[in-house]
């Protein structure tokens, strides 16, 4: 089955660019995510990490 798919893909012209594009998108996404994590302010991280523990909105129940 894999041999059939490989032979079929070889017959398509210009298909070799798609793995390169997907690798670049994947790499760019994780570099940007890493940059965002490194540059995030400690105040924001503390606020977001305490959101699940914040029980002030339970008074409505």
Task: Return d(Cα 40, Cα 32) in angstroms, integer.
Answer: 12
Q: According to the model, what pLDDT value does residue 59 have?
A: 55
pTM: 0.58
Q: According to the model, what pLDDT value does residue 1 have?
A: 64
All residues at 6 or more sequence positions from 9 whose CB lies less than 8 Å from its CB, including other chains:
15
At 4-58, the pLDDT tens digits run 777 777 788 888 899 999 999 999 999 999 999 999 898 988 888 888 777 766 5
- Maximum C-alpha span of the chain: 64
Q: According to the model, what pLDDT value does residue 50 have?
A: 84
């Amino acid at each position: 089955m894999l041999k059939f798919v490989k032979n079929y893909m070889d017959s398509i012209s210009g298909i070799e660019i798609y793995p390169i594009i997907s690798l670049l998108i994947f790499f760019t996404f994780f570099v940007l995510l890493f940059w965002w994590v490194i540059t995030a302010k400690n105040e924001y991280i503390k606020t977001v990490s305490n959101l699940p523990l914040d029980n002030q909105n339970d008074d409505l129940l």
